[in-house]
Amino acid sequence: MDKDLVIIGGGPAGLAAAIAAKEAGVSDLLILERDNKLGGILNQCIHNGFGLHTFKEELTGPEYAARFIDKALKLEIPYKLETMVIDISKDGEYKLVSYMNREEGLVVVRAKAVILCMGCRERSRGALNIPGYRPAGIYTAGTAQRYVNIEGRMPGKEVVILGSGDIGLIMARRMTFEGAKVKLVAELMPYSGGLKRNIAQCLNDFDIPLLLSHTVVDIKGKERVEAVVIAKVDENSKPVPGTEEEIKCDTLLLSCGLIPENELSNALGVVMNRVTGGPLVNESLETDIEGVFACGNVLHVHDLVDYVSEESAQAGKKAAEYLKAKEGKCSCSESGNKAEASIKINAVDGVRYTVPSVIRLSRMEDRQTVRFRVGAVYKKAAIQVLAGDKEIMNLKKAALAPGEMEQVILQKSVLEALPDLTEVTIRVKTD
Amino acid sequence: MQDIIIIGAGVTGCAIARELSRYELDVCVIEKSSDVCEGTSKANSGIVHAGYDAKPGSLKAKLNVRGNEMMEQLSKDLDFPFKRNGSLVLCFDAKDKGQLERLLEQGRQNGVKDLRIITGDEARKIEPELSDEVCFALYAPTGGIVCPFNLTIALAENAAVNGVKFHLDTEVIGVSKENDGYLVKTSKGDFKSRIVVNASGVYAAKIHNLVSDEKINIVPRKGEYCLFDKTVGGLVSSTIFQLPTKYGKGVLVTPTVHGNLLVGPNAVDIDDFEGVNTTAEGLSDILKRGGLSVKQLPTRQIITSFAGLRAHEDKGDFVIGEAKDAPGFFDAAGIESPGLSCAPAIGEYMADMIVEKYPAKRKENFVSKRKGIPSMALASPEEKKKLIEENHLYANVVCRCELVTEGEIVDSIKRPLGATTLDGVKRRTRAGMGRCQAGFCSPKTVEILARELGVDEGEITKNNKGSEFIVGKIKEL
């Protein structure tokens, strides 16, 4: 089978990318989704707070997803459910996408362009290397969320949560609503990795304590969790002897970070960013492999789905431009010209990474959003943007935190006005 | 009245059961856990040792070399993963070369083939990621790696197909001599048998001492491990041992037969016979010591850690044979390393010993071969298509990290001695063994288990009773 564009994943990223590509004129496209419905992880996020930026109203996850699913259906975008992509490889200028499902078995699609929208997974107990027994009752927060919200099952009654990522905070409230006792949330860092509003609405409103600079140092119980031992950690995140406290519980939920799911990208040989765990991309959200784009949590972990949608629409639009250029229907037909002038974006002084990490002026939109995260908590700081040595932006920030994604918008006209510009630098400026 | 009761369905008990199933004997296996391979057999290095470690003349030496020889054909007959990847014992200080020479000599006496000492540079040619500190190494091309779960499960399934009965979730609480045999009291009632085989791992001394005045003593010796993602499974291709270093007894670094990287174990004697908890000190210790073997251990790629208990008998060798003062009571006790390597040989040795004293007729219809669960992850595109044509459930991926399909999971439940728990499915199919550690697939696997077993999802356990995943429905609390 041949397709102009294959979109891997039908969650918020895949939907927004597909809609934008279709609206930009790509009609021969296909979404491949592994679950039994479109919408991805939004389907289990039944709490509200989605869509404030996009729709100026508060929606639940499934409602937010429905807006995009409806649009995709209206645009008659083809999709396949319960379909797992098992490999992507290169075949000259084409990409071969192998997928499996019950109806068709194993199928290989030859695609001119691919958008990677596989999302992310949660860091597991094993990856955290938490010592102790390995009983039932240890779940990542997202798995517990699936049990409660999709399966209608309770994974436990007395809960300790390690990590204050947003899913953990949401699940603290959700488990409380269902009658479970959430005893505490322990966070290794001296600050939370979650959104401020979630700490207020999910912990403070229910008197659930948040213990910063604490971690789980032991898990007890041979068949089912019976207790966990928490301890304070020092500035190097090492447990402080003598501060251990045993907390009786039957469940430990983990909300300790998300990891972009790039196994397929790696199989294809895409160059990755070590900081984000996602591909390195340019202004078009195109990876180092021509015609392969990435957006959403597979690219870098977002905290708001609104930004996923926005970013993914950009990827869809750029994929459409790429396909047009390939057909020579567009003035920007210098596609594939590797020698094109490009501007590298440096992330320094507290800025951990940027997406994109390089901009080709010729392909840049008038306004280019650059997203990034900072590595620590800052009060009264500024985000400074330098073009070469020249400051082109200085945004005062009352507070910056690793849990909140930041962005700056670069103007094409400003960059164009600086001849021979090769580098833009984004940094946190403190007094 | 049974002919033979085997206590314990670890790799040793299952190997013995399979060998005894060649005879016209009424054999059953009694196991306290909910599945086979739930004790020492599930948490070890997965190594088929070459056989240079044990003292010449010991049972360990004899059975290791024989077990190593048997493993390859057995892996073909019973369809479990085994690979002869070779092993290296590293020497970090030229002063210690004598220790390698002693191992070499010991290995030759034990009958280990093709052993030789090579220089550090030669070793680094075989294994480029080896530490620059390595100055000599003992190279054993016959060393291998095996899937301990599939080895045990394959032996058990084949024994079951040949008529051995397995009583799972059945704990032995007493064994006593009666006139014509033994009375075995269990949590599920009494069994009588002419012969009892004690293959109860860390509990083997307790069982033995119920019927014999020649007491033995077994200490659970804990070993902790870290398992790494398959992306770094190729860091080394051979199994890398160390001579004892200034940090203590060596820690190994090895690929697993499934392509992960494994580092461990330490050795700590404990009192708790179920003490399979890992400790912060233990994990950091094995990573530090294992790290000496290679240029750098990719510790960010750890996907899980675990601990197992070795059944260490005070005298240091296996205790295999009929108890002198308890005729008909046979021990396979103190089966610590290299117990996994030895298992097929222990089965053979024990069966020979039993039928020599208590003659039995060989079956004419013994089924010597077993077909494992087809693996979609390992299948070629053509094989994948064929499997899907036969059963469309093979196209429905449940575990994305290890590419395990609904077809494989259903097969693991439906086959002889099939899985009834999440861990049972995991060990038979690898669903949940990957980098997300069952985060995505466990709700789906629980659903499939409940459907195939005809029970409510709330009854599905991780392993033993009491390890249920779900405590109720929402709105119930």
A44-67: per-residue pLDDT in tens? Answer: 999 999 999 999 999 999 999 999
CB contact under 8 A, A154 and B463: no
Encode pLDDT of B283-307 as tens digits.
999 999 999 999 999 999 999 999 9
Encode pLDDT of B316-364 as tens digits.
999 999 999 999 999 999 999 999 999 999 999 999 999 999 999 999 9
Domain map (residue ranges) of chain A:
1-120+258-336, 124-256, 340-431
Pair (B228, B248) in one structural domain: yes
pLDDT band at A419 (very low <50, low <70, confident <90, very high): confident
**Domain enclosing residue B411, as ranges:** 381-459
Question: Does some domain include residue B267?
Answer: yes
Q: Which of A126, A131, A155 sits opposite B470 (nearest CB)?
A: A155
CB contact under 8 A, B458 and A153: yes
Q: How many CB pairs under 8 A join A and B?
A: 145
Distance (Å) from the C-alpha of residue B193 to the closest C-alpha of chain A? Answer: 32
- Tell me what pLDDT residue A43 has: 97
Same fold, A1-120+258-336 and A124-256: yes
Question: Does some domain include residue B470?
Answer: no
CB contact under 8 A, A135 and B397: no
Encode pLDDT of A133-152 as tens digits.
999 999 999 999 999 999 99
- Tell me what pLDDT residue B347 has: 98
- Counted domains in chain B: 3
- Of all residues in chain B, the percent with pLDDT exceeding 90 is 97
Q: Which of A124, A142, A263 sits opposite B437 (nearest CB)?
A: A124
Q: From residue A29, how far is each of A76, A316, A318, B320 by CA, in Å?
A: 10, 11, 14, 67
Pair (B438, B388) in one structural domain: yes
Pair (B186, B295) in one structural domain: no
CB contact under 8 A, B443 and A143: yes
The CATH number of whichever domain residue B410 belongs to comes to 1.10.10
Choose among A233, A250, A254, A251: nearest CA to A242: A233
- Write out the catalytic residue numbers of B: 49
B451 has a pLDDT exceeding 80: yes
Which chain B residues touch A150 with a CB distance below 8 Å? 443
Q: Which amino acid is at A136?
A: A
Residue A239: closest C-alpha in chain B: B280
Pair (B244, B123) in one structural domain: yes
pLDDT band at A329 (very low <50, low <70, confident <90, very high): low
Contact indicator for A87, A267 with CB cutoff of 8 Å: yes
Pair (B246, B286) in one structural domain: yes
Q: Which of A82, A122, A127 sits opposite B396 (nearest CB)?
A: A82
Instruction: Concatenate the DSSP letters of all residues of B53-101 into one string.
Output: SSPTTSHHHHHHHHHHHHHHHHHHHHT--EE---EEEEESSGGGHHHHH
Average pLDDT over residues A332-361: 82
A331 has a pLDDT exceeding 90: no
CATH topology of domain A1-120+258-336: FAD/NAD(P)-binding domain (3.50.50)
Rounded CA separation B346/B352 (Å): 10
Contact indicator for A225, A138 with CB cutoff of 8 Å: yes
Choose among B197, B188, B431, B219: nearest CA to B334: B219
Average pLDDT over residues A197-215: 96
**Does the domain formed by A124-256 have CATH 3.50.50.60?**
yes
Q: Which of B440, B472, B475 sits opposite A121 (nearest CB)?
A: B440
Pair (B256, B275) in one structural domain: yes
Q: Write down the ipTM of this complex.
A: 0.94
A334 has a pLDDT exceeding 50: no
Question: Does some domain include residue B54?
Answer: no
Which chain A residues touch B395 with a CB distance below 8 Å? 100-102, 104-106
Counting Cα atoms < 13 Å in the Cβ hemisphere of B69 gives: 13
- Say what the pTM is: 0.95
- Tell me what pLDDT residue A330 has: 52
CB contact under 8 A, B227 and A126: yes
- Tell me what pLDDT residue B248 has: 63
- Tell me what pLDDT residue A341 has: 79
CB contact under 8 A, B304 and A125: yes
Q: Which amino acid is at A332?
A: C
A339 has a pLDDT exceeding 80: no
The CATH number of whichever domain residue B164 belongs to comes to 3.50.50.60
Distance (Å) from the C-alpha of residue A191 to the closest C-alpha of chain B? Answer: 22
- Tell me what pLDDT residue A335 has: 46
pLDDT band at A333 (very low <50, low <70, confident <90, very high): very low
Question: Does some domain include residue B55?
Answer: no
Distance (Å) from the C-alpha of residue A420 to the closest C-alpha of chain B? Answer: 40
Question: Does some domain include residue B207?
Answer: yes
Pair (B274, B423) in one structural domain: no
**Average pLDDT score over chain A:** 95
Rounded CA separation B451/B445 (Å): 10
CB contact under 8 A, B283 and A131: yes
Classify residue B23 by its DSSP letter.
B
Is residue A393 within a helix (H) or strand (E), and if so which, with residue range? strand A390-400
Best residue of A129, A147, A240 to probe chain B, by most B CBs closer than 10 Å: A129
pLDDT band at B380 (very low <50, low <70, confident <90, very high): very high
Choose among B81, B92, B142: nearest CA to B115: B142
Pair (B344, B239) in one structural domain: no
- Tell me what pLDDT residue B285 has: 95
Which chain A residues touch B377 with a CB distance below 8 Å? none
Pair (B289, B154) in one structural domain: no
Average pLDDT over residues B364-382: 97
